[in-house]
């Protein structure tokens, strides 16, 4: 997850946040949800240790409940605000099939459902995140399907380096020191991205892919054929500073599939890149 610059947008005075929300033009109920994140849940986290940190969220398309970790609340909160307020993943989701790689606790999956996605498949390997993701998906109904797995280039198993931050777990990067060190490991299944794209039914709606895989983005994109990427209409991906390839290589691979860069934001730790299909796909 891109953190540095975006955290500054979240850590604001309450007065500044209230002014921002007062002018927010978004789906019904979002102001209440965001203010709950700013006011109610931090107080509950501090003074009500037995209560669950959860948020009821609804739109004309769906309703459900999202869950937040007590120990990971600061990071979870940044992710929620980034998806729902900062607009990291804006696109036309109406009737779309969505592949959510790096599902975390489900904030992006819920956003896609709220925005009208027909079905969302979320892939998350870490056990605590997956538990929260599964609980959330069950409250939204059958349109949201969670999978406990990492995504890569080839099938198999991998060691997941469990990070001190809930959004920092990685199968390619182990951090021994610093503010976000590795604190443990889990053995997790790996499913190939090519299988996800190949097995996704060719539905009338668009195919949208989101990848936040903490360094595995190189294997995921470059290890999947250009022909299969031609099936995708819109892709969001984060390229981290420790990824084993430059973002230019990923972009060049996807551009050969007829996708064009429509979003590029960066901070010192990662780049958020969005590519979309502006023209009909060329023949393989």
Give me the pLDDT at residue 16, please. 65
281, part of any domain: no
The range of the structural domain enclosing residue 258 comes to 4-276
Per-residue buried b or exposed e for 23-49, using 16+ beta carbons within 10 Å of the residue's own CB: eeeebeebbebbeebbeebeebbeeee
Q: Average the pLDDT over 16-25 and give the result.
A: 61
Q: How large is the average pLDDT for residues 86-100? A: 94
In a domain, 282, yes or no: no
Query: Domain total for the chain?
Result: 1
Domain membership of residue 214 (yes or no) is yes
pLDDT band at 61 (very low <50, low <70, confident <90, very high): confident
**Which pLDDT does position 20 carry in this prediction?**
63
Tens-digit pLDDT profile for residues 112-165:
999 999 999 999 999 999 999 999 999 998 899 999 999 999 999 999 999 999
d(CA 58, CA 65): 9
Distance between CA 265 and CA 273 in Å, rounded? Answer: 7
Tens digit of pLDDT for each residue in 219-249?
A: 999 999 999 999 999 999 999 999 999 999 9
Kindly tell me if the per-residue pLDDT of 2 is higher than 60. Answer: no
Share the mean pLDDT of the chain.
88
Q: Does residue 284 fall inside a structural domain? A: no
pLDDT (tens digit per residue) in 21-38? 656 666 778 888 888 998
> Exposure of 199 by Cβ count < 10 A (0-12 exposed, 13-18 middle, 19+ buried)?
exposed
Q: Which residue has the higher pLDDT, 185 or 9?
A: 185
Q: Which two tokens stand for residue 273?
A: 């890149």
**Does residue 41 fall inside a structural domain?**
yes
Question: pTM to 2 decimals?
Answer: 0.90
Cβ–Cβ under 8 Å, residues 143 and 119? yes
Decide if pLDDT at 281 tops 50. no
Q: Does residue 149 lie within any of the structural domains?
A: yes
Residue 224 domain-assigned (yes or no)? yes
Provide mean pLDDT across the span 62-78.
95
21 inside domain? yes
The whole-number average pLDDT for the span 91-117 is 96
Answer yes or no: is pLDDT of 13 > 60. no
Distance between start and end Cα atoms, the chain:
33
In percent, the amount of the chain with pLDDT more than 90 equals 70
Domain CATH number, residue 239: 3.40.50.150
Lowest mean pLDDT among 223-232, 258-267, 272-281: 272-281
């Amino acid at each position: 997850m891109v953190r540095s610059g975006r955290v500054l947008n979240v850590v604001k005075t309450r007065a500044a946040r209230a002014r921002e929300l007062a002018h927010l033009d978004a789906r019904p109920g979002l102001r209440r949800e965001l203010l709950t994140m700013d006011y109610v849940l931090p107080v509950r986290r501090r003074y009500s240790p037995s209560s669950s940190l959860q948020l009821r969220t609804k739109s004309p398309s769906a309703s459900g409940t999202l869950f937040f970790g007590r120990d990971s609340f600061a990071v979870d909160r940044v992710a929620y605000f980034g998806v729902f307020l900062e607009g990291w993943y804006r696109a036309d989701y109406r009737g779309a099939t969505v592949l959510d790689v790096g599902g975390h606790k489900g904030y992006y999956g819920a956003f896609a459902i709220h925005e009208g996605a027909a079905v969302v498949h979320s892939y998350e390997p870490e056990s605590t995140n997956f538990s929260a993701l599964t609980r959330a998906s069950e409250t939204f109904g059958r349109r949201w399907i969670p999978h406990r797995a990492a995504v890569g280039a080839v099938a198999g198993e991998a060691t997941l380096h469990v990070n001190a931050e809930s959004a920092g777990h990685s199968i390619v990067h182990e951090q021994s020191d610093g503010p976000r060190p590795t604190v443990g490991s889990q053995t997790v299944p790996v499913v190939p991205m090519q299988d996800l794209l190949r097995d996704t039914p060719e539905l009338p709606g668009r195919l949208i892919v989101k990848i936040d895989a903490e360094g595995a983005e190189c294997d995921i994109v470059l290890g999947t054929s250009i022909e299969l990427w031609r099936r995708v209409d819109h892709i969001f991906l984060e390229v981290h500073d420790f990824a084993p390839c430059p973002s230019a290589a990923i972009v060049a691979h996807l551009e050969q599939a007829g996708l064009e860069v429509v979003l590029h934001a960066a901070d010192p730790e990662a780049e958020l890149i969005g590519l979309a299909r502006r023209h009909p796909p060329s023949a393989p």
